[in-house]
Structure 1
Amino acid sequence: MLSAIESTRAAIVAERDGLQQRYKAVSSDAGFLDDAIGNGETSPANAAKIDQMATTMINYERRVADLSRQIETLDALIRHTDDVTGSHVPKKTAR
């Protein structure tokens, strides 16, 4: 059972880390597009793209928060399992 929990945790960490990378990319793209609009280098019609990017970033933030809570819950479950069985040897895990 413990290995299934750790496997699930690793998958959640990977998803969270991927979302954080995509968040950074969208944030950077939105900043560059906003600067380009402000400097007159692109059409103000692209402002709608910035709004879409902002919505995407908000969704990423919410999902990352959800995933972080899931990781914390699984960490607590791992600790509890260790307390009950005394059989878990902690591994270095991504935070």
Structure 2
Amino acid sequence: MALLSFRTRNPQRDRDTDLGRMDRLVQFLRQLRTEIDAERSGLEARYEKAQTSAAFALEAFENGGGEELSSKADDLAVVMQRYHARVAALEKQIAFMESAEMDAKAFHDALAGADPEKRQGGTGFTSSGNVAQPAHD
């Protein structure tokens, strides 16, 4: 009579579950990277507009325009500084996402190439009077 009776899942099923999880993680990291890239692209377009407006305001001020043009150019300069800070933050996020994706892919590939029977540590159970042989789903 066996003291313990329990079932374990089939190692291939566990492997497939793990691979699916890694696939979803890689897909999610790619989605985040796409969102970050879209934000950066939008910022670049707004930056170009701000840069053009600042140049026109400064030129108009230098050609005898009112003091408000100088103030506008100064305000636009602050906006462009914020842009640079935000782009730097986004670049760090992109680098992090790329690194995380590479790590997740490497983990996935190692998992995909692993033998499910060997992943269990090769210890397996043997039949004896005290331990039941595990059943697989």
TM-score normalized with structure 1 length = 0.85
Q: Which residue of 2 aligns with 1:33?
A: 57
| Contact 2:60-2:69 at 8 Å conserved across structures | no
State yes or no: 1:77 paired with 2:87.
no
Note the 1:11-30 alignment, pairs <5 A.
11-30=35-54
CA radius of gyration, larger in: 2
> Aligned equivalents of 2:104 and 2:68: distance in 1?
55
Q: Secondary structure at the match of 1:45?
A: helix
> Aligned equivalents of 1:46 and 1:74: distance in 2?
41
Q: Which runs of 4+ in 1 moved over 2 A?
A: none
RMSD value, Cα: 1.3
> Aligned equivalents of 1:62 and 1:44: distance in 2?
28
The Cα of 1:46 is off from its aligned counterpart by 2.0
Q: Which residue of 1 aligns with 2:73?
A: 50
Gaps of 5+ in 2: 1-24, 111-137
> Aligned equivalents of 1:74 and 1:27: distance in 2?
29
Aligned positions, number: 86
> Aligned equivalents of 2:45 and 2:92: distance in 1?
18
| Identical-residue share of aligned pairs (%) | 29
Structure scoring higher RCO (CA < 8 A, sep ≥ 6) equals 2
**Structure (1/2) with the larger helix percentage:** 1
Residue 53 of structure 1 aligns with an amino acid whose one-letter code is L
> Aligned equivalents of 1:69 and 1:21: distance in 2?
20
The Cα of 1:51 is off from its aligned counterpart by 1.1
TM-score normalized with structure 2 length = 0.60
